[in-house]
Structures are given as structure tokens and as C-alpha cells.
Amino acid sequence: MSKKDDDHKILIIDENKKEREVLAGTLLRSGYTCGQATGGLQGISMMEQERFSLILIAAEMDQMGGVETLCHIRSLYPSGVLPIIIMAKDHDPELEKECKGFGSTDFTVVEQNRNIIIRLIVRHIEAFLKKNKGKKIKPKDNILGVKPAK
């Protein structure tokens, strides 16, 4: 898999600007294209306009929490259709179990070595590509009424 392939854009959803920018910088240096959303609603709106290969969601957000954002996205993209990784500040087994119950593909602690997060992303994108064999990711519904870009 070529990491430099623009067809494999990653969306980072996090209210914390610094965390979002640090992670985006790491991904950009690793050859990935990123979209950044300041919260769940903006992230969902961006997903209706652009195609992403993987979504990273901060667990701790005020306006629309990570679990709520995950549930909204899973209503559009069922499990197995789009990889979603939840990022938490600390390891919380209960939160991890809850997120996986609502359809997160994986759970990671943001403060880990960024190389671990990159390896996790590569693993999930490769698994997605193998499973879907180049199919386009499309939402099953349009809950915000925004027409996807063509």
C-alpha cells in the first residue's frame, strides 16, 4: 500500500487543537493526507462531503463526545465498512469496552509513541483494503442533508 495515495485520507476528530495538529503533523510526515474536524458534528459533515479511509476520534470531547460521534458515524457506516479508532488520554478498560460495543475498530491511548499509532493506522487501512478490494466507501444515509462531493 502506498501511504502517499490520496485515496487514503484520514479524518482526525478532536476538539483539542494542539492534539489534532500534532497528530496531523505526524501523519503528514508519514505520508498520509489528513482532514481535521474540531468536533463530532463537523467531522460528520466532512464525511458527507469527502471520502476517508480511516477515522480517528478523540474520546474526550465536550460538545459531542467520542462515543456519541462514533454512534452517529456507525449509523452511516456500519462496522466493517470504515475503520474507526478511538483515542483516549488514558487507558480506560470500561471506555474501551463501551467503544468496541458501539463499533469502534480499535482503541488507543494518544500519549503512546506516535509510531505505535502509525502502525495501528497502517494495519487497519491495509485490512480495510484487503476486505473491500477497492470498493468506494459510501454512507448508507445522509443525516445532515449535505450532498457528498463527486
pLDDT tens string 27-44: 888 888 999 999 999 999
Please state the rounded mean pLDDT for residues 39-68. 93
34 vs 8: CA distance, rounded Å: 9
Decide if pLDDT at 126 tops 50: yes
Please state the rounded mean pLDDT for residues 85-100. 93
126 and 84 in contact (C-beta within 8 Å)? no
- 150 in any annotated domain: no
4 and 27 in contact (C-beta within 8 Å)? no
Taking only Cα atoms into account, the Rg of the chain, rounded to an integer number of angstroms, comes to: 14
Decide if pLDDT at 81 tops 90: no
Q: How many CB atoms lie within 10 A of CB 16?
A: 15
Domain encompassing residue 113 = 9-132
Q: What is the CATH number of the domain that holds 109?
A: 3.40.50.2300
Mean pLDDT across the chain, nearest whole number? Answer: 82
Decide if pLDDT at 121 tops 90: no
Work out how many domains the chain is built from and give that number. Answer: 1
Lowest mean pLDDT among 10-14, 81-85, 127-131: 127-131
- 140 in any annotated domain: no
Give this prediction's pTM. 0.82
